[in-house]
Amino acid sequence: APAQQPPAPAPQSPAPPQHSGRPEPSGYDRGPAPEPPHAVAPEDDTAEADDPDLVDSALSGHDLIVRELGATVIEEFTNEQ
Average pLDDT, the chain: 72
The number of C-alpha atoms within 13 Å of 36 and in the hemisphere containing its C-beta is: 2
pLDDT digit string, tens, across residues 46-76: 777 787 777 767 777 778 888 888 888 888 8
What's the rounded Cα separation, in Å, for the pair 77 and 58?
Answer: 21
pLDDT of residue 73: 81
CB 63 within 8 A of CB 73: no
pLDDT of residue 13: 59
Mean pLDDT for 39-51 is: 79
Q: What percent of the chain has pLDDT over 90?
A: 0
Write down the pTM of the prediction: 0.25
